[in-house]
């Protein structure tokens, strides 16, 4: 068995993750934030590993 | 074992170029689709993640390996490159954070008992599996079977660690201490210079101080990390996204997230219900896996290498260490990326404390790795 097999599994993992996600959550580009946070005037609100729950 | 180089035939060369063109086209299409259907910012975050994956795998740069090289062989090049990269990001990020409060946030977290213990455990585990937060993603994407197995347990550990985070932080923590503004930048750069001096002092005689490859990788990584901050409004992170994937799975299987103070918080619930294609760390994590996969597929022969053999105890150790990587990095308010790289470069004291604790843990991880059977059979 070669690394092609395990690398393909990693790729399949990503495809399954995104596929499952798209089946359960909708995307709406019209409600997307500005392309750049810097200069947008909006408060940063993404999840981050250093942040306590908000 | 030496191999005799064989010249390319035109057919082989054409097949190679067509595969590489396919990889480039595939990357562009995926980024464009996310930009189109999710939003331009999310498309750019995926592109930045791809850049991280390509840079880390393409230039064979990381965090666990250079620490191992410093500890075992006293080769400082990789660690100094990490600090150089952090310094470059700090020079841009700390002033930007001061001039754009709210729009941009740093990786700033409190120092506490659980944070220090978590960093120590993370440092040990990242040497056991020889993969840190970013390294596990890169290695999984390029077909490393140990990292591939560790990855889902890393995600479960991150989810579980976040679940219990409040309990752990209640054990005792200082207020968040940051080095901000011009004085904060100077303090950060002086501390980095002192750390570089310490590693140079401990370097083996004749060891390369900073290789050209490491220096280039450090600068590329710094540019991408600055891009991450400017686009997302927050620094580069890894672990949150992994925990979020597990939380989504838990919720889809009927699990009740309201029992956890962390996952029941409005912000967390909102992100669990939203698409991972709108979560910054998820996008860069996905990009890192895909970017590393792309580089491995691009390199001739990289994916045709035979998988190494490990004893059963190595696989058990990988599962346990993978889970602990995720769990401990939540208690430590980040991994080598979120706490060490992004914490220090955005002026958080916890990044420095994380570095010291994790480096201490790395000594034990290096000792445990062969005992657990993770030095591959040849």
User: What does the H/E/C string look like for B256-308?
Assistant: CHHHCCCCCCHHHHHHHHCCHHHCHHHHHHHHHHHHHHHHHHHCCCHHHCECC
pLDDT at residue B271 in the model: 95
Mean pLDDT rounded to a whole number for chain B? 95
Long-range contacts of B374-378 (CB under 8 A, 24+ apart): B374/B128, B374/B129, B374/B130, B374/B146, B374/B310, B374/B314, B374/B317, B374/B318, B376/B308, B376/B309, B376/B310, B377/B308, B377/B309, B377/B310
CB of B129 within 8 A of CB of B150? yes
Minimal C-alpha gap between B177 and chain A (Å): 13
pLDDT (0 to 100) of residue B15:
78
Q: pLDDT tens-digit profile of B31-90?
A: 999 999 999 999 999 999 999 999 999 999 999 999 999 999 999 999 999 999 999 999
The residues pairing with B101 across neighbouring beta strands, listed in sequence order, are B104
B289 → closest Cβ in A14, A27, A52: A14
Q: What is the pLDDT of residues B287-304, one digit of tens each?
A: 999 999 999 999 988 899
Query: Using CB atoms and an 8 Å cut-off, which of residues 283-312 of chain B contact chain A?
Result: 286, 289-290, 293, 296-297, 302-307
Instruction: Indicate the residue of B230, B296, B343 with minimum beta-carbon distance to A50.
Output: B343
Between residues B5 and B114, the one the model is more confident about? B114
Min Cα distance A12 → chain B (Å) is 10
Query: A48 and B235 in contact by Cβ < 8 A?
Result: yes
Reduced to 3 states, what is the DSSP secondary structure of residue B125? helix
Q: Per the structure block, which two tokens stand in for B155?
A: 């995600």
pLDDT at B13: 78
The pLDDT > 90 percentage for chain B reads 93
- B224: closest CA of chain A, how far (Å): 14
Q: For the segment B186-208, what is each residue's pLDDT rounded down to a tens digit?
A: 999 999 999 999 999 999 999 99
- Residue A28 CA: distances (Å) to CA of A20, B190, B200: 17, 45, 51
Under the banding of pLDDT at 50, 70 and 90, the label for residue B4 is: very low
Give pLDDT, residue B377: 58
- What is the tens place of the pLDDT at every residue in B267-277? 999 999 999 99
Please determine, for residue B3, whether its predicted confidence score (pLDDT) is greater than 50.
Answer: no
What is the C-alpha separation between B292 and B60, in angstroms, rounded?
A: 10
- For helices B10-37 and B280-298, the axis angle rounded to 10 degrees is 170
In this prediction, residues B340-362 reach a mean pLDDT of 98
Distance between CA B132 and CA B336 in Å, rounded? 7
**Do residue B275 and residue A44 have CB atoms under 8 angstroms apart?**
no
Q: Does the pLDDT of residue B376 top 90, yes or no? A: no
Report the DSSP beta bridge partners of residue A2: B306
Q: Which residue has the higher pLDDT, B222 or B14?
A: B222
Q: How far apart are CA B199 and CA B268, in angstroms?
A: 40
Q: For residue A1, which residues of chain B lie inside 8 Å, CB to CB?
A: 306-307
Does B7 have pLDDT greater than 70? no
CB pairs under 8 A between A and B: 206
Bridge partners of residue B173, in order along the sequence = B112
* Interchain pair B267, A47: CB under 8 A: yes
Token couple for B36: 């189109």
Can you tell me the distance from the alpha carbon of A25 to that of B292, in angstroms, rounded to the nearest whole number? Answer: 27
**Considering only CA atoms, which of B111, B139, B134 is closest in space to residue B63?**
B134
Contacts of the segment B42-45: beta carbons below 8 A, 24+ positions apart: B42/A32, B42/B277, B42/B278, B42/B283, B44/A35, B44/B227, B44/B231, B45/B228, B45/B231, B45/B232, B45/B280, B45/B283, B45/B284, B45/B287
In terms of Cα–Cα distance, which of B254, B226, B229, B377 is closest to B308? B377
Facing residue for A7 by CB, picked from B102, B141, B237: B141
Average pLDDT over residues B154-162: 98
Cα separation, A39 vs B329, whole angstroms? 31
């Amino acid at each position: 068995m070669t690394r092609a097999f395990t690398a393909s599994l990693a790729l399949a993992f990503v495809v399954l993750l995104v596929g499952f996600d798209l089946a359960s959550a909708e995307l709406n580009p019209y409600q997307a934030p500005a392309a750049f946070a810097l200069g947008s005037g909006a408060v940063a609100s993404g999840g981050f590993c250093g942040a306590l729950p908000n | 074992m030496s191999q005799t180089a064989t010249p390319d035939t035109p057919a082989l060369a054409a097949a190679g170029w067509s595969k590489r063109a396919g990889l480039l086209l595939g990357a562009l299409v995926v980024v464009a689709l996310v930009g189109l259907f999710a939003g331009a910012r999310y498309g750019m975050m995926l592109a930045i993640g791809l850049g991280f994956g390509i840079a880390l795998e393409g230039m064979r740069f990381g965090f666990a390996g250079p620490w191992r090289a410093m500890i075992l062989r006293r080769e400082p090049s990789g660690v100094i490159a990490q600090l150089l990269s952090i310094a470059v990001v700090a020079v841009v990020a700390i002033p930007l954070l001061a001039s754009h409060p709210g729009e941009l946030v740093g990786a700033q977290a409190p120092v506490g008992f659980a944070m220090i213990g978590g960093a120590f455990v993370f440092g040990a585990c990242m040497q056991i599996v020889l993969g840190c937060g970013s390294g596990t993603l890169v290695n999984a994407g390029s077909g490393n079977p140990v990292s591939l197995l560790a990855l889902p347990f890393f995600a479960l550990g991150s989810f579980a660690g976040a679940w219990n985070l409040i309990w752990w932080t209640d054990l005792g923590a200082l207020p968040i201490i940051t080095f901000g503004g011009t004085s904060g930048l100077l303090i950060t750069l002086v501390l980095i210079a002192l750390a570089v001096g310490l590693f140079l002092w401990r370097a083996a005689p004749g060891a390369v101080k900073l290789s050209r490859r490491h220096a280039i990788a450090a600068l590329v990584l710094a540019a991408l990390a600055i891009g991450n901050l400017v686009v997302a409004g927050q620094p580069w992170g890894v672990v949150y996204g992994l925990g979020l994937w597990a939380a989504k799975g838990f919720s889809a299987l009927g699990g009740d997230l309201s029992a956890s103070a962390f996952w029941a918080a409005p912000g967390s619930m909102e992100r669990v219900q939203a698409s991972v294609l709108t979560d910054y760390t998820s996008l860069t994590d996905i990009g890192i896996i895909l970017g590393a996969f792309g580089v491995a597929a691009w390199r001739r022969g990289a994916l045709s290498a035979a998988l190494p053999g490990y004893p059963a105890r190595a696989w058990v150790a990988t599962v346990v260490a993978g889970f602990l990587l995720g769990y401990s990095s939540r208690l430590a308010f980040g991994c080598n990326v979120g706490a060490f790289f992004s914490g220090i470069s955005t002026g958080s004291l916890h990044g420095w404390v994380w570095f010291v604790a994790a480096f201490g843990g790395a000594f034990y991880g290096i000792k445990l790795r062969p005992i657990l059977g993770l030095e591959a059979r040849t």
